[in-house]
Structure 1
Amino acid sequence: MVDIVFGFDFGVKRIGIAMGNTLTGQAQPLTVIKAIDNATRFQVIGDLINEWKPARLIVGEPRHPDGAEHDMTMRARRFANQLHGRYSLPVDLVDERYSSAVIPQKRGEVIDAQAAAIILQQYFDDHANI
C-alpha cells in the first residue's frame, strides 16, 4: 500500500509543507502557509489533509548545532501535538538542524517548502523500510 506523507517546516511567520509517498520515498515541496493566526493556518492545513489524505505527518524539530533545545524546539513540538490532536494522524519529529543549510540561498518563501522537503526526505531516508 502506498501512503502519502506530509512534512512541515514550522515557523512563526510561515510554515513550509512538502509531500511524498512511501512507494518512491521521495519528497517534494508542496506549498507555504503564511501563518497569520492559528485558525487560518489550521484551516489551510486541514484543507490540504482533506485533499491529499496523508497517512502520517512529519514535523522538523529545530535545535542548536550542539543538539541543545531552544524556543523554537518547544514551539515545533507544540505544533506537532496540535496536528496530532486536530487530525488524529501519527506525527513524527525529525531533527532539522541542517535543513536550511543545504538549500541554495534564495530570496522568498520557497525556501520554507524546500526545507520541509528536506525534512521529509530525511524521514524517508531514515525509514527506508516503511
Structure 2
Amino acid sequence: MRMRILGLDIGSKTIGVACSDALGITAQGITTIQRKTAKDDWQRLQALATERWVTRMVVGRPRHMNGEDSENVKQIEAFITYLKRQMPAMEFVYWDERLTTMMARQVLMAGGVRREKRKQFVDKMAAILILQNYLDAQGNTLL
C-alpha cells in the first residue's frame, strides 16, 4: 500500500486539512479542525494520519510577499515541534503558502459558494492548494 501525505493550513482557530491520493498526484480536502488544545489537535491529526496511512505532513509556512516569515510562524513552529514529539515517525515538511488563502477565496467565489458559507471552507481549500503545490513541485517522485 502506498502512503499518503496530509497538507495542513494551520491557523490560530482552525487547521485546514487535505490529503493526497495514494499515487501522490492530487490533493483532496478532508476537514477543518476547530482548534482546542495542542493535545486535542494532535489527537485529531493522529487519527486522520492513521486511518489514511499518512507518513508525511506538509505544513503551510506563511510568508509575506518579500519572503520574510509572517508573525504567526513562531506559533506554527511551536505546534509542529509538539507534533514531532508526539509522532516521531512522521515526516514534517514546511511549504511556502503565500497567497493560498486569497486563492482559496477566489476558487470558492468562482465556484459560486456564497459569502456566508466561504469562511467554513477557506481553510480546507487553502490546505488543498498548499498540498497540491507541493505535489506538483515534486513531479510525482514522492512515494
TM-score scaled to structure 2, two decimals?
0.83
| Structure with the greater alpha carbon radius of gyration | 2
How big is each residue's C-alpha offset from its partner over 1:47-106, in whole Å with a ceiling of 9 and x where there is no partner?
112211201110000011111123212222222222222112111000001111212254
Cα RMSD (Å) of the superposition?
1.6
- Equivalenced residue count is 130
SS in 1 for 2:101: coil
Unpaired segments of 5 or more residues in structure 1? none
Question: Is structure 2 residue 111 aligned with structure 1 residue 110?
Answer: no
> Which aligned runs of 4 or more in structure 1 are off by greater than 3 angstroms?
none
Q: What is the match of residue 80 of structure 1?
A: 80
Distance 1:38 1:17 in 2: 16
Identify which range, 68-77 or 108-117, moves more after superposition: 68-77
Q: Identity over the aligned pairs, expressed in percent? A: 28
Q: What is the match of residue 100 of structure 2?
A: 99
Distance 1:60 1:86 in 2: 19
| Higher helix residue share | 2
Question: Is structure 2 residue 137 aligned with structure 1 residue 126?
Answer: yes
Distance 1:127 1:52 in 2: 20
Q: CA deviation at 1:34?
A: 0.3
Identify which range, 118-127 or 105-114, moves more after superposition: 105-114
Unpaired segments of 5 or more residues in structure 2? 110-114
TM-score scaled to structure 1, two decimals?
0.90
Contact 2:7 2:18 in 1 (8 A): yes
